Every structure is written in structure tokens, then in C-alpha cells.
Amino acid sequence: MIRTTLATISTLLALALPAEAGDDVIATPTLRASITVTSDVVRVGDLIDNAGSAALVPVYRSPDLGTTGALPVAQVLSVLRAKQVIGVMTGDIKEVQVTRLARTLANKDLETAVASALERRFGLGDAANIAVTFDRGVADMRLDASNTGALQPIATRYDARSGRFDIAFEISNDTNPTPTKLRFTGTAIETVEVAVLTRDIDRADLLKSSDITLERRPKAEVTGEPASRDRSIGMQLRRPMRSGTPIRVADIVKPDFVSRDQSVTVIYQVPGIYLTTRGKAIESGAEGDTVSVLNLQTKRTLTGVVTGRGQVTVQGASQSAPMAAAVEQTSSLKRDEAPAPTAAAALARSLIQAPASQAQAAQAQAAQAQIAQAQIPQVRVSQAPAKSE
């Protein structure tokens, strides 16, 4: 009985001893295959787990901001032994990848920051219309990852004549009470988006979509209001222009519906009367323009408004000397409607203007009689003979 009890106690002690010993064992340091650092040095605690009191000991200089470097395992173990760190478990790791974190300020972001600092100041407009060029070709900039603040301008200088700027910025730092300072110099010019010709264009050509592209040009180069692409398509130029020339609103006009020396249809119109004849345009004009035309029948110059392609309308009420009726003229008179007396009289004068023969004179007199009859009221009053008493 006593022997059995002693054996049981011995077994329990044997099982308890390894557990007590395990509590005193230090965890084995283990090498990491890939690490990221934010400072300019790599420490023991960055390279291995369970580094203990040696964790803060610096062993390597960090790679450049935003880059990754590789350390051979043999070299790492040699450096660690020199720092009294031994027994590191490496497993099957051949090299350690070390990446240094950084905050990257892209060139476009820097341009935007400068344009925002100049926006609506020094005679400039919106930031979106300010083109920025840095001195020395500033590319993407990398800062320590601890610089988490926004770019804040603290000093801004600008020369409106030369477009030169000198701007200082500050960025708050998470690990340092002193903010990081940056300074940029260069030129900033306000630009406008304008339609530009892609080829030489003559005045008679209609602008097509392929003839126009949009570009940003310095505002000083575009005098007057710049024309948009949509507004320019389908229009004509007031003068021939060369490829690469920006188009202004003053440079474009509606396309000509009537060209100089073109044979046109002349329409004479008054209330109740509509006449057409042939004429020749003395000048070019777009729809709605007032142009002069020559009546080919009477050789008289008239003024009318362009109302269509090859068509000019003369309003008789405002025309002091309306055109004479031509041989090919057509007319229409609304039923039960008499023309205005003034217009009808002017038309009568034009009908008898310089007849070429007695037959034409007779025709003109007959037309005059018809117009005179048209002026008689439709309701006639007849007088009964007086009764004799």
C-alpha cells in the first residue's frame, strides 16, 4: 500500500516539473520575412518577433521613402549576433523585405495646392483655370508618413506681370510638434478653354466638327469672348483663318443664305398681296440680315431681309419704291380682302413704271383698273330717283 502511494506521488511530481520549467522558458526570437517601417532606421524589434529588451536597438538604415529593400538572412543574423541577439529562428527565409512607408504628394496635387493659394487673388480667376509650372521640374514628392496634415499656405507672393510665384506651405506632423515646411517657385498663368482650328479655313467654308478642337490657351492671347466648340460648328468665319488660331465669338457668323451676285428670288409682300420675281443680290447675308438686291426687270435696287436660301423678302409697307411686276411674277389675293390703299397705290405705280411697249402699257392700265376696282367697297349703295310731287 505504501509503495503504491509513493509511486503515485512520484508520477505526479514528474508530470508537474516540466510544466513549472516551461513557465520560465523565454519565447524563441523568430525572424520576419517582410516588414514595414516609418522611421529612418530599422530596429531589432522590426526584424524579429520576441526581441525582448533588444527590440529598440537600431541595426540598419531604412530604405528611401516609399521604396523597398532586401536584406540577406546571413547578413541579418551576423548583425544581430553583434547586438547580442542569438538563437533566432529563420525557418526557410532567404531574405527579408524592408519597406519604408511614405506620404506621396503627386505633382498634380502640388499644382492644385498652388492654384488654390492663388485663386481669385492678384487678378486671377478660378483655380481650375490657372496653369502652374514649377521651377526645376518638380516631380512627385515623398514625405515621411508621419506628415498627415494638409498643405497650408503661410506666405504667398505673385507678380502679375511675369506670372512668377513664390509660395511657402506647412504640413502638420504626428510625431513632431514642428510642422514640415515646403516652398515652391515657378509661374502661374490664367488660361481659358477655346475652340481652335485644326486646318486653314476660308470664309466660305462651313465649320465642321473635324475642323475644331478644344485647347487651353493663356487668357492674354484670347482677346474678347472665346467661342465654344458647340457654338462654332455649322458657322462661317468672318475672314479666312489659319490652323491653330483660337476662335472668338466675334470671328464667327451664321452661314450666308445669300451670296453676292447670286440670283435670288425676291418676294414682295403686303397684307393681301404676295408677289415674287427674280433679282440679283448686291451683297451677301445670313438669315435675318438686311441686304440690297437688284430687280432684274426694272433695274431698281431694293432692300430686303434674307428669309431663306436664295430668298429675299421686301416688306411693301416700309418700301418707298416697291419693285415692278415682272413677267414671271405670281400673285395671290385673299378672298373678300382688299389691299391697303397705300400699298395698292405704290404697287400700281410700280406696275406702270417705264413700260417697254404699248401692249405692256395697256396691261399696266388694265392692272391699275383692277386695283381701283378692288378698292371699291363690297357693299354698294344705289340712289333711287327722286319722286316728283
Burial class (CB in 10 A: 0-12, 13-18, 19+), 325: buried
- Confidence band (pLDDT; 50, 70, 90) for 196? very high
First to last CA, the chain: 183
Q: What is the pLDDT of residue 255?
A: 85
Lowest-confidence segment of 31-40, 107-116, 141-150, 357-366 by average pLDDT: 357-366
Burial class (CB in 10 A: 0-12, 13-18, 19+), 177: exposed
Q: What is the pLDDT of residue 289?
A: 87
DSSP conformational letter for 338: P
CA 151 to chain CA centroid, nearest Å: 27
Segment 47-72 shows an average pLDDT of 92
Q: What is the pLDDT of residue 139?
A: 80
Q: What is the pLDDT of residues 308-351, one digit of tens each?
A: 888 999 876 444 444 444 434 444 444 444 444 554 445 434 43
Segment 259-271 shows an average pLDDT of 86
H or E element, residue 81: helix 73-82
CA 184 to chain CA centroid, nearest Å: 28
Q: What is the pLDDT of residue 254?
A: 85
Segment 279-292 shows an average pLDDT of 89
The residue count of the chain comes to 389
Segment 252-275 shows an average pLDDT of 85
- Confidence band (pLDDT; 50, 70, 90) for 356? very low
CA dist., res. 372 & res. 66, Å (int): 100
Lowest-confidence segment of 27-41, 105-119, 253-267, 348-362 by average pLDDT: 348-362
CA dist., res. 83 & res. 350, Å (int): 119
Q: What is the pLDDT of residue 365?
A: 57
Residue pair 238/203 in contact by the 8 Å Cβ criterion: yes
Q: What is the pLDDT of residue 140?
A: 86
Q: What is the pLDDT of residues 372-383, one digit of tens each?
A: 444 434 444 444
Q: What is the pLDDT of residue 25?
A: 55
Q: What is the pLDDT of residue 42?
A: 94
Residue pair 266/304 in contact by the 8 Å Cβ criterion: yes
- Cβ-Cβ contacts under 8 Å for 251 (sequence gap 6 or more): 227, 237, 238, 239, 241
- Residue predicted with more confidence, 158 or 272: 158
What is the model's pTM?
Answer: 0.56
- Cβ-Cβ contacts under 8 Å for 150 (sequence gap 6 or more): 171, 172
